[in-house]
Amino acid sequence: MASAVSKLHRTVTDPVVRPRALRDPLWLRVTLMTVAFLFLAGFLLLPLVSVFAEAFRRGIGAYFASFNDADGWHALRLTLLTAAIAVPANLVFGVAAAWCVAKFEFPGKSLLITLIDLPFAVSPVISGLIYVLVFGAHGWFGPWLDAHDIKIIFAVPGIVLATIFVTFPFIARELIPLMQAQGKDEEYAAITLGASGWQTFRRVTLPNIKWGLFYGVILCNARAMGEFGAVSVVSGHIRGVTNTLPLHVEILYNEYQFVGAFAAASLLALLALATLVLKSVVEWAHARHHG
Amino acid sequence: MFSRHRSVIPGFGLSLGFTLTYLSLIVLVPLAAAFLKASGLTWPEFVEAVASPRVIASYKLTFGASFAAGVVNAVFGLAVAWVLVRYPFPGRRIVDALVDLPFALPTAVAGIALTAIYAPNGWVGQWLEPHGIKIAYTPTGVFIALTFVGLPFVVRTLQPVIEEIEPELEEAAATLGASRLQTILRVVFPPLLPALLTGFAMAFARALGEYGSVVFISGNMPMRTEITPLLIVTKLEQYDTAGATAIATVMLAVSFTLLLGINLLQKWSRRHQTA
């Protein structure tokens, strides 16, 4: 479903000036553009601007003073750690899934692709809940984990697992159509000429899919660092221990520390903007290579 | 199908084996846990958990607000997609990139930003307050947040379809004497319909499960502004795991049905495009 975000698999063309008969009448153009711009300004630009406006409401000094917060720094470190585990895990999975789907024929292939998409259809809250049912105190492995003093729920492993679940399809969904479109002729040629499987992957496949790979990693990382609902259910909200940056934003907000909440939120908004810029750059680079 | 000759390309067993193991451990087994847990309830217990008045009220709000947000996104998303594909204007690429903001911006950030804007003392809220219009902490606030998260879906599903409309069709209509408006309504619009429905269904499905952007602006009053995902969290915090799981299975069943419907819509949409 979130493959809707991906613009890598189509060529984006600039609008061309059309002959008069195929041009929309002026009143229609003006109306549609006004409606579209007002809608985007109200629903996209306004929230984005307000994050920074609220963060700087009491001045630059108060903004930077709010970063003097040990729990906030811990939350940031946990968010980075979570993404540093979840993204590579899903990267390896994405490459493996795309390799078997694109290079081989086997029964049940389309079912496999649908199953890979499942996490997109699951509410973030339920994504957290299912791990509570498996590893929580009353879950399947709860008593066993308790006996061996292993904590997953209300601890870092649960946060990582829930994050892996919600970002599960991102990289696979980029690579599968890309590798399917590229076919297997080049790999076939490399193998026939005596290259080993690993050499073929590294020297033939990887250069072909690098932009798709990078694109998937960008989208996956943005979601991994920003996830709220799933992580909220499994984290237990222990300050300075199991709070990620989005959860820390919630805690500060609920304690009426608005400058602190929006200052932390401004970091996440900068991450979102960086994601959008990188995404556009990769789309441009990919189109130049394959256009 | 399996061919008699083994493929020369190596790694089939390894890649498929890893894919299936990882898929099962991360996705399939935990999801199965939810359904097994719910099946441990007796039927009257299950009905009590998923159909008490408070839960029914949350369904009404969640489905109603998600539907309204989907409709608004369909109408305005169509206008945005049309403008982005057809009208050259300076800064078009920046506006185009900005459409993905709801995917990139963490939901909690969107939640507190929207609350700040629509609260009675916020940028928009302060102008509505004197007229007795309240948005934050009402069902309208839920609708606003869900419109934000669903915004990219309709635009992104429509853009490639609008790009692929063959100019010959529009030319033919113009040559045969149709006005531009007639051409748009009778020639251009009908092939867009499957994609428009797909985008609507995706926005609707996404809105049903949304949590982070809604909990701040909704105020979370039981029977009035409590969405179903929040109710699941509340039950879990009260150690009513069975109740939370029962509601979750209802929502999962709805989500999977929608996923299936969206897949069918996409097939229909592709047939339309290539026809």
Contact A24 B8 (CB under 8 A): no
- What is the C-alpha to C-alpha distance for residues B89 and A33, in angstroms, rounded to an integer? 10
- What is the C-alpha to C-alpha distance for residues B91 and A285, in angstroms, rounded to an integer? 19
Contact A125 B229 (CB under 8 A): yes
CA dihedral A245→A251→A257→A258, nearest 10 degrees, is 60
- What is the C-alpha to C-alpha distance for residues A221 and A216, in angstroms, rounded to an integer? 8
Q: CA-CA distances (angstroms) from residue B85 to A43, A171, B93, B166, B264?
A: 20, 27, 11, 13, 26
Q: What are phi and psi of A256, to 5 degrees?
A: 60, 20
Query: Which residue reads 């890979």 in tokens?
Result: A116
Interface probe for B, chosen from A37, A130, A234 (most Cβ of B below 10 Å), is A130
Contact A25 B116 (CB under 8 A): no
pLDDT value at position B1? 44
- What is the C-alpha to C-alpha distance for residues B198 and B155, in angstroms, rounded to an integer? 11
Please count the residue pairs, one from chain A and one from chain B, whose beta carbons lie less than 8 angstroms apart.
319
- What is the C-alpha to C-alpha distance for residues B94 and B98, in angstroms, rounded to an integer? 6
Interface probe for A, chosen from B14, B66, B109, B151 (most Cβ of A below 10 Å), is B109
**DSSP for chain B, written as a single string:** ---SSPPSS--HHHHHHHHHHHHIIIIIHHHHHHHHHHHTS-HHHHHHHHHSHHHHHHHHHHHHHHHHHHHHHHHHHHHHHHHHHH---TTHHHHHHHTTHHHHS-HHHHHHHHHHHHSTTSTTHHHHGGGT---TTSHHHHHHHHHHHHHHHHHHHHHHHHHTS-HHHHHHHHHTT--HHHHIIIIIHHHHHHHHHHHHHHHHHHHHH--HHHHHHH---TTTT--HHHHHHHHHHTT-HHHHHHHHHHHHHHHHHHHHHHHHHHHHHHHHHH-
In chain B, what residues touch A188 (CB-CB under 8 Å)? 8-9
Angstroms from A43 CA to nearest CA on chain B? 6
- For A95, the closest chain B residue by CA position comes to B15
Q: In this structure, is the dihedral angle defined by the CA atoms of residues A135, A137, A139 and A145, taken in order, positive or negative?
A: positive
Interface probe for A, chosen from B78, B112, B140 (most Cβ of A below 10 Å), is B112
Cβ neighbours for B60, distance < 8 A, ≥ 6 positions apart:
none
In chain A, what residues touch B246 (CB-CB under 8 Å)? none
Q: CA-CA distances (angstroms) from residue A279 to A26, A28, A207, B12, B158?
A: 33, 32, 18, 31, 20
In chain A, what residues touch B7 (CB-CB under 8 Å)? 103-104
Q: Six-digit token pair at A281?
A: 């750059």
Q: CA-CA distances (angstroms) from residue B142 to A72, A185, B96?
A: 28, 51, 26
CB atoms under 10 Å from CB of B164, counted, come to 12
In chain A, what residues touch B210 (CB-CB under 8 Å)? 123-124, 229
Angstroms from B12 CA to nearest CA on chain A? 6
pLDDT value at position B34? 85
pLDDT value at position B2? 47
In chain B, what residues touch A5 (CB-CB under 8 Å)? 100, 103, 152, 156
Contact B108 A228 (CB under 8 A): yes
Mean pLDDT by 10 residues, chain B (275 residues): 63 95 96 87 92 96 98 97 93 94 96 96 93 94 97 95 87 87 87 93 96 95 95 93 94 94 86 62
In chain B, what residues touch A121 (CB-CB under 8 Å)? 205, 255-256, 258-259
Q: CA-CA distances (angstroms) from residue A84 to A53, A89, A90, A161, A271?
A: 31, 9, 11, 12, 15
Cβ neighbours for B66, distance < 8 A, ≥ 6 positions apart:
B146, B150, B204, B207, B208
Nearest-CB residue to B101 (from A48, A122, A134): A48
In chain B, what residues touch A232 (CB-CB under 8 Å)? 211-212, 233
Q: What are phi and psi of B16, to 5 degrees?
A: -70, -40
pLDDT value at position B33? 87
Contact B212 A14 (CB under 8 A): no
Mean pLDDT by 10 residues, chain A (291 residues): 64 70 86 96 96 96 93 95 98 96 93 93 96 90 92 95 97 94 92 92 94 96 97 89 94 95 97 96 86 57
Contact B108 A272 (CB under 8 A): no
CB atoms under 10 Å from CB of A233, counted, come to 28
Contact A130 B28 (CB under 8 A): no
Of B266, B51, B241, B231, which Cα lies nearest the Cα of B156?
B266
Domains of chain B from N-terminus onward: 43-274 (1.10.3720.10)
**What pTM, to 2 d.p., does this model score?**
0.93
Contact A24 B34 (CB under 8 A): no
A39-43 LR contacts (CB < 8 Å, sep 24+): A39/B76, A39/B79, A39/B80, A40/B80, A40/B95, A40/B98, A40/B99, A43/B147, A43/B148, A43/B151
Q: Is the ipTM of this complex over 0.90?
A: yes
CB atoms under 10 Å from CB of A256, counted, come to 8
Cβ neighbours for B205, distance < 8 A, ≥ 6 positions apart:
A1, A121, B255, B258, B259, B262
Half-sphere exposure of A221 (CA within 13 A, CB side): 19
Contact A44 B98 (CB under 8 A): yes
In chain A, what residues touch B273 (CB-CB under 8 Å)? none
Radius of gyration of the CA atoms of chain B, in A: 23
- What is the C-alpha to C-alpha distance for residues A166 and B112, in angstroms, rounded to an integer? 22
Interface probe for B, chosen from A23, A44, A114 (most Cβ of B below 10 Å), is A44
pLDDT value at position A219? 96
